[in-house]
Structure 1
Amino acid sequence: MTALNSRSYWHGTRWREIARHKGWKLVNFLQLTLNGLAVGCIYGLVALGFVLIYKATELVNFAQGDLLMLGAFVAYMSVVWWKLDYWVAFLIAGVLVAVFGALLDAVVLRRVIGQPQFAVVMLTIGLGAIFRTFASVTWGSEIYTLPTPFGGVTTIGGVTLSHQYLSIVVGTLLLCGLLYLFFTHTRIGIAMQATSQNQLAAYYMGIPVKLIFSMIWAISAAVAAAAGILLSPVTLIDTNMGLAVALKAFAAAVLGGFGSIPGALIGGIIIGLIELYAGATLSEGLKNTAPYIVMLAVLAIRPQGLFGTLARKKV
């Protein structure tokens, strides 16, 4: 090959090969980012449930993932068994699981407020096991598919946009927007904020603290149910679907700062992106541990999490 031909090859064919290779890498990166963002939104929603309950009652609900599972099963029954519309099933599942969450607080969990954290943790873990057993007896050990109206895909520049993943992102944004408006522009939402900041002062101001607790549990349970319904088309429905999600969501809540609502959402997105990036570049074993490694690294530098504070709440 002459010098002229060599230069022609380098400026022509070679550059096209490099451009294609870089373009392929960019497409893969964008695809992983989109999928990781959707998965992270689910982690963020469940982490939001952790944080809402902790801010108000200082309890950590390790049954949060099982409420996600119950919401998915209720939606499945509504769509497949009762032949209801998807959106009607979404609403029914959210309301039923919210009522169940409120009753759970009023009947069981209110009794352990003020008890050692170890007792609370064991109680919620035991409740989660009971919920999974109930689901196994009621629906069996089969894996179910929830029909949704988000079955198509759209391809833009080589990146495949799954409508199911897009529904997760859009649904998360809508839920977060509604919660923001509720907490900042309604009397009940402002009362919830006051209760989470100082329970005794809220009680002296005439706020029904116990009722507020139950309402916060209801909102947390409804958010978990919504996350389960949005996740169902991606991971399918079974009795153990909430376990892995709850563990990653707890890591997201800790990473963002346990007690920070924006931190829970951002922590969930970070965990979801790390999980997808690690799955594409690292071995299978490191895929599941990479989010926890990042969480531990962040906590070693900033023990309160990314958005948490070290100030103690006075009650």
Structure 2
Amino acid sequence: MILQILLSGIATGCIYGLVALSFVLVYKATEAVSFMQGELLMVGAFAAVALAAAAGWPVWLAVGVAVVGMALAGALVERLALRRAMGQPHLTAVLLTFGLGLMLRGGVTTVPAATHGVHQLALPGLLGQVQLGSLTVSFAHLGVIAATVLTCAALAAFFRFSRAGLALRACSENPRVAAMMGVSASGMHTLAWALGAALAALAGILMAPVTFVHPGMGVVALKAFPAAVIGGMHSLPGALAGGVFIGVAEALAGRYLPEGANHVTAYVLMLVALLCFPRGLFAGRTA
């Protein structure tokens, strides 16, 4: 039973971790908190469903195009709207992203096919389950965990070996010095928003085989934000670790605590972390 709970919690935590990574990527580069990540997750999942089910594209091609399309959409939104909030009080960016998120959700709900039913994206290889003794292993859960590991490995390689990744790291550490070395701060902001939107869309697509695709699925971002806070808003590994931590804690709370306790677990843990570790569990020391 405990292994079953842990496996489910880790898979859910990986979803939280991917969305938390999108929060941290944007925050590290722009010092702005985006509250539209949940809607980007939802739109990405719907885009993959529309391309695969309505347009008849191969599923994996639809997934790739949806993720790339959401990255381009994130870059476009940054260029057209969010760039105007740079240099303004933090509340400006918060309200702007919150409003854009409401607009995205409202736009999706105007499509009858999106609101008159629920949809599921059948990813090949992630359907069914296998029995290992008393443990039932879902291929969807294994796929979520494997995809998260591969995504994190790709991000680590990008930040370590590519010029764009190194420039983004430099800009997030010290924008003024990075600009003096020839790094375009505005270009790095666009790249950060693009990567954040792509990660949110990927999280939504990975949720699709486990849960249904519907306009309200973006609420998962409300659990991912505490994960980013717990891990530290400047730590990418901390965001992923915070997501897995919250996923496992929720699964254990749902099994051993009174009904409904799992719905507040993330926020209780966030409050405890803010009181004991205000900069996050994985925040580095500063001189």
2:229 to 250, 254, 279: 254
1:71 to 44, 64, 79: 44
2:68 to 77, 95, 105: 95
The residue aligned with 2:217 is 241
- What are the residue-to-residue correspondences of 1:157-306 with 2, within 5 Å? 157-243=133-219, 245-306=220-281
Give 1:309 shift: 4.0
Do the aligned partners of 1:79 and 1:147 also contact (CA within 8 Å) in 2? no
- What are the residue-to-residue correspondences of 1:102-181 with 2, within 5 Å? 102-138=75-111, 139-141=113-115, 142-149=117-124, 150-181=126-157
Aligned amino acid, residue 239 of structure 2: A
Unaligned 5+ runs, structure 1: 1-27
Aligned residues: 284
When residues 311 and 124 of structure 1 are mapped into structure 2, their CA distance, relative to the original with a 3 A threshold, is farther
Do the aligned partners of 2:60 and 2:123 also contact (CA within 8 Å) in 1? no
SS at match of 2:39: helix
Do the aligned partners of 1:69 and 1:228 also contact (CA within 8 Å) in 2? yes
Do the aligned partners of 2:67 and 2:202 also contact (CA within 8 Å) in 1? yes
User: Whole-Å Cα distance in 2 between the matches of residues 271 and 114 of structure 1?
Assistant: 33
Farther-moved stretch of structure 1 (100-109 vs 295-304): 295-304
Unaligned 5+ runs, structure 2: none
Do the aligned partners of 2:45 and 2:205 also contact (CA within 8 Å) in 1? yes
Aligned amino acid, residue 210 of structure 1: S
Do the aligned partners of 2:8 and 2:251 also contact (CA within 8 Å) in 1? yes
SS at match of 2:260: helix
User: Whole-Å Cα distance in 1 between the matches of residues 11 and 253 of structure 2?
Assistant: 16
User: Whole-Å Cα distance in 2 between the matches of residues 117 and 236 of structure 1?
Assistant: 34
Q: Structure 1, residues 43-78: CA drift from partner, whole Å, max 9, x if none?
A: 000000000000000000000111000110000011
Aligned amino acid, residue 171 of structure 1: A
Give 1:285 shift: 2.2
User: Whole-Å Cα distance in 2 between the matches of residues 214 and 302 of structure 1?
Assistant: 31
Aligned amino acid, residue 245 of structure 2: I
Give 1:298 shift: 2.5
Farther-moved stretch of structure 1 (105-114 vs 280-289): 280-289
User: Whole-Å Cα distance in 1 between the matches of residues 16 and 29 of structure 2?
Assistant: 20
Give 1:306 shift: 0.5
Larger Rg: 1
Runs of 4+ aligned residues of structure 1 deviating over 6 Å after TM superposition are: none
User: Whole-Å Cα distance in 2 between the matches of residues 299 and 209 of structure 1?
Assistant: 30
User: Whole-Å Cα distance in 1 between the matches of residues 82 and 107 of structure 2?
Assistant: 19
User: Whole-Å Cα distance in 1 between the matches of residues 143 and 259 of structure 2?
Assistant: 28
Do the aligned partners of 1:63 and 1:128 also contact (CA within 8 Å) in 2? yes
The residue aligned with 1:52 is 25
- What are the residue-to-residue correspondences of 1:2-41 with 2, within 5 Å? 28-41=1-14
Percent sequence identity is 44
Give 1:145 shift: 1.3
User: Whole-Å Cα distance in 2 between the matches of residues 53 and 193 of structure 1?
Assistant: 12
